A = this chain, B = another copy of it.
């Protein structure tokens, strides 16, 4: 595995309940990355809400994927969209929504939300 977070980091396992839809909400309150302008760390809570199709994402691999953002310079909007794209491609869910809630910088806090609708 490379040092950058990569779709291959996300291990998938078969969904055992494909006969009916159900939702999974995952919350990762200890996400951080690096501001590409200042080089200082940015903190966020990442939330992933999805309806599995034929696969679900194994949580331990998801955590290790998330940890790789720690030393990566990336904007809030880009981090949220990258997670959305990687997660969606990895397990091909029926629907998916990714929310990045970033801590305040200079007294301003931001939230970015992407969904598959």
Contact = CB atoms under 8 A, between A and B. Distances in A.
> Size band of the A side of the interface?
35 or more
Contact of A24 (B40, B60, B103, B112): B112
A30 B105 CA distance: 12
By DSSP majority rule, is chain A's interface helix, strand, loop, or mixed? strand
Copies in the complex: 10
A15 B76 CA distance: 12
B77 A27 contact: no
Given A40-B67, A67-B41, A29 B107 contact: yes
A2 interface: no
Contacts of A109: 26-27
A106 B26 CA distance: 12
Interface in A45-70: 52, 56, 59-60, 62-63, 67, 70
Interface in A62-102: 62-63, 67, 70-71, 77-78, 80-81
Most buried by B among A22, A56, A114: A22
